[in-house]
Structure 1
Amino acid sequence: MVFANTPILRAQDAEAPAAAAAGGLEGDVAVGEALFKSNCSSCHETGTTKSVGPGLKDVHKKHDFQWLVKWIHNSQSMVAAGDPAALKIYNEFNKIPMTSFPTLSEDEIKGILAYIESANNQPAAAAATGAVAAGAAQSEGPSTLFVVLLVVLVVVVVLLSIVLLVVLNLLSRSVDGGREVKKSGESFGSLLGRAARHPAILSATAWVFVLLVVKVTLDGAFNVGVQQGYAPKQPIAFSHKLHAGEYEIDCNYCHTGVNKSRAATIPAANICMNCHGVIKRESPEIQKIYASIQNNQPIEWVRVHNLPDLAYFNHSQHVNVGGVECETCHGDIKKMEVVEQRSSLTMGWCIDCHRTTDVNAKGNAYYDKLVQVHGEEGKGTLKVADIGGLECSKCHY
């Protein structure tokens, strides 16, 4: 069964087919996909696999369209009225009530059905989309430069030591009139000791030490406030690997602000209760949610990704307009038992992304003229940096 509050629409891929037939019903696959992932995917599969609710393959062939509309708008009224098909589904799936969606229009329902049929007709389509690598090349400080410089200095010191040893050996032989040096103090170890005390060696050693101290200091300064790898213990043991991975619950279902707000928002307890009002109620972790509601105390989740106040970031701008996937910044959340900060989220990391990311201009007339002019000047594809993505005031004001 589907558990959700209200349908959430998000920007669509311009390359998706505009419409597809669903048992004689014409529906917009792109709109249907967004609605399905936001409202249905937490409890339904597009195929035959049963989840919280039944698999939806060929559902438009099993039931009359108007029956489906009534069921989606208010399933419980059909159960109460004794509809045989409604009662069969209700009893088969442990009498779990399905959330009603009275605001969905018939065209939107047709879109959902069209998407389900399209997903079953093209099973390989989903496999073509790979996760975007989060570990792009970064400019986090002068570490690479200092490492190269230190390697060069070490090589120079070694070579200089060898040269000095040879010179000292020759000088010793010259002082002794060409005779071999047989004094115990003039062994190889002695020569090495004298070379180590040479002013040039001492100076080079001091410079290497100074540069090492400078490197460590600068690395530490550049990493102030960087919490990459931070994975705090949360007040409730919530598994993204289970919910987003195994059950394939769409990120937008819980983080409702990601398409329309600066912040993705932390899910409220009532979103959890959409499912856990009837599922795993006896679990000690779920009981913490009940306690939070009963005591009217919010769950004190520990924030993982936290930008400084001097930086402005808008989720809706990146997700809706830019078409950026969650995994680009947050890593492969579907495999995380405990969420951690995978990216550095530093200014250099953001700038590198703006320099390499193409502007998502498809279907957006706002960019048409700019794309045309940019192409005529032979500058290649339009990057975020070309539309002001490197201006200070974009993020700091």
Structure 2
Amino acid sequence: MSSKRSLVGILLSSPTLAVLFFLLIGVSAHAADPAVVNSPEAIEVGKTVFNANCKTCHKLDQKYIGPALRGATDRNSAEWVKTWIKNSGEVIASGDSYAVALYKEYNNSIMPAYTFLSDAELDGLLSYIEYGDVVDPNAAAATIGGETGAVGAGGGIPSEYLTVILGVLILVLLLILVVLGLIISVLTKYINRQDLPEDDKEFVSQKFELGKVFKSDAFIIVITALVIALVAKTAIDGLYSVGVQQGYAPAQPIAFSHALHAGQYEIACQYCHTGVEIGKSANIPSANICMNCHTHIQNVGGKEGISPEIQKIYNAVDNNQPIEWVRVHNLPDLAYFNHSQHVAVGGIECQTCHGPIQEMEVVGQHSSLTMGWCIDCHRQTEVATQGNAYYDKLVQLHSDSKDALKVKDIGGLECAKCHY
């Protein structure tokens, strides 16, 4: 099963994943299913299914929106669990007491029916739940400690040290100027004691007048050149910044926090931005996508006491009015950019262009998104050729080169690639 198909399934079905594996926490023990094996192939298949369908609401070793899943096949029959995943509604309708109790406990929430999952995918999912991503706390602590030490040992010079060095250099320059002034003063006194012609004595004895320096032609020319250079640089910088919205972070009609949803709760970007892997645009999520979760995980007893921001979502749904989000990233019409080409084919992470989106309370444009910025990326980014037969011939033709195959080598710098 492709992750793309799983994503479509999760978005078109009822999105309440919180009860996806509630029956996995039953009290009776069962023998391990022979299909649940500790093999890298099965675990990899299961991890793909888990990330596409379950990650939003479940973790393996701790309770999240749904229960922790590790040990599920020890507590329940694997075959029965697969039946539950494929159609939990039928299990509840059959009168299973435990299923009915959980259904009522969680506000009568019905999980989506994953009928499109094959038996092999379900077996892989259970294998991943039991054996995948096992973390040894002692090893994790040692790794963290090692990484911390490496950063401390290999890090660059702190900015505080650079400030001190700069201050010392300025102080040394001032001392040099003072010493030069003292040397000039001593030499002047010494020369004045010598038997010199009157013209020379007058030249040596002349006093420094700051006013004459300001009025001199050389000083006026230098200052004029500096002013012209500064004005020209300011004008050029202003021209280059036309249309560049880097740092633009407008207030939105609803105070949606990516730091909370994408960061703390680790909701995948693809869950809300549904078109990112299948189309040119990533799509702005509708209020219905928001309600997929907020219908069930907040204010189970009703709408009373909900926050003003969540109430705006309810109002949009009740009035059948779209939320008027303010667009942040906006390329000019003359530029063509396809999200699926970069994300699904190129394997580019969202953060590459959008920055640390999982840390943003208010979304702002992180990168400049200028033509030069895109071209630099095409010059530096290696093509993800592994497992993609489309590039086999290109890799073969490029094999004589010492450098890796990059986007620039497959036409990434051609004008027609990005401009109609």
Q: TM-score, normalised by structure 2?
A: 0.72
What residue is the counterpart of 2:292 in the other structure?
Answer: 274
Could you tell me how far 1:88 is from its partner in structure 2? 4.8
Rounded Cα–Cα distance in structure 2 between residues aligned with 1:295 and 1:182? 91
Name 1:90's counterpart in structure 2.
Answer: 103
**2:266 equivalent in structure 1:** 248
Where do residues 119-268 of structure 1 align in structure 2 (5 Å cutoff)? Answer: 119-121=132-134, 177-180=199-202, 187-188=207-208, 190=209, 192-268=210-286
Conserved 8 A contact 1:259-1:315: yes
Offset from partner CA, 1:38-90 (integer Å, 9 cap, x none): 3211111122x112211111223322222122211222332232213423543
1:40 aligns with 2:54: yes
Counterpart-to-counterpart distance in 1, 2:331 and 2:373: 13
Query: Cα 1:85–1:43, aligned 2, differ >3 Å: closer, same or farther?
Result: same
Q: CA RMSD in A?
A: 3.2
Partner SS, residue 120 of structure 1: coil
Structure 2: which 5+ runs fail to align?
A: 1-5, 12-33, 148-179, 300-305
Aligned residue in 2 for 1:392: 415
CA shift for structure 1 position 217: 0.6
Q: Distance in 1 between matches of 2:197 and 2:65?
A: 95
2: CA distance between counterparts of 1:351 and 1:175?
A: 71
Q: Greater CA deviation, 64-73 or 311-320?
A: 64-73
User: What CA distance in whole angstroms lies between the structure 1 residues aligned with 2:393 and 2:131?
Assistant: 34
Match of 1:63 in 2: 76
- The answer (yes or no) to whether the contact 2:347–2:384 under 8 Å persists in 1 is yes
Instruction: Determine if contact 1:22/1:117 at 8 Å carries over to the other structure.
Output: no
> Does residue 379 in structure 1 map to residue 402 in structure 2?
yes
Pick from 112, 121, 125 the counterpart of residue 112 of structure 1.
125
Stretches of structure 1 that go unaligned for 5 or more consecutive residues are: 9-20, 131-161
Residue pair 1:292, 1:299 contacting (<8 A) in 2 also = yes
Superposed displacement of residue 198, structure 1: 2.2
Offset at residue 28 of structure 1 (A): 4.3
Bigger Cα displacement from structure 2, 307-316 vs 51-60:
51-60
Give the whole-Å Cα distance in 2 for the aligned partners of 1:182 and 1:121.
86
Residues of 1 paired with 2:100 and 2:327: CA distance? 44
| Partner secondary structure for residue 179 of structure 1 | helix
1:139-174 residue CA offsets vs partner (Å, 9 max, x unmatched): xxxxxxxxxxxxxxxxxxxxxxx9xxx9xxx9xx99
Partner of 1:301: 325
How far apart in 2 are the matches of 1:235 and 1:212?
41
Matched residue type, 1:396:
H
Q: 1:91 to 1:7 in 2, by over 3 A?
A: closer
The 1-side partners of 2:135 and 2:385 are apart by: 27
Q: 1:388, 1:4 → 2: CA distance?
A: 31
Show the counterpart of 1:364: 388
- After superposition, the C-alpha distances for 1:25-46 in whole angstroms (9 at most, x for unaligned) are 8764444333322321111112
Identity of aligned residues (%): 52
Q: Tell me the amino acid that sits aligned with residue 50 of structure 2.
A: F
**What TM-score, normalized to structure 1?**
0.76
With over 3 angstroms needed to count, the CA separation of the structure-2 counterparts of 1:92 and 1:56, relative to structure 1, is farther
CA distance in 2, matches of 1:175, 1:384: 77
The count of corresponding residues between Structure 1 and Structure 2 is 337
Q: Counterparts of 1:60 and 1:232 in 2: how far apart (Å)?
A: 48
Partner of 1:351: 375
Indicate if the aligned counterparts of 1:53 and 1:93 stay in contact, CA closer than 8 A. Answer: no
Is the alpha carbon distance of 1:96 and 1:25 closer, same or farther for their aligned partners in structure 2, counting shifts above 3 Å?
Answer: farther
> Given the superposition, is the C-alpha separation of residues 97 and 224 from structure 1 closer, same or farther in structure 2, using an over 3 Å criterion?
same
Which residue of structure 1 aligns with residue 167 of structure 2? none
C-alpha separation between the residues in 2 aligned to 1:331 and 1:215? 29
More helix by share: 2
Label 1:225 to 1:198 Cα distance change in 2 as closer, same or farther (>3 A): same
- Structure 2 CA distance, aligned partners of 1:284 and 1:77? 37
| Aligned-partner Cα distance in 2 for 1:89–1:25 | 30
Residue-by-residue CA offset, 1:82-108 (whole Å, 9 max, x unaligned): 213423543554543323323222222
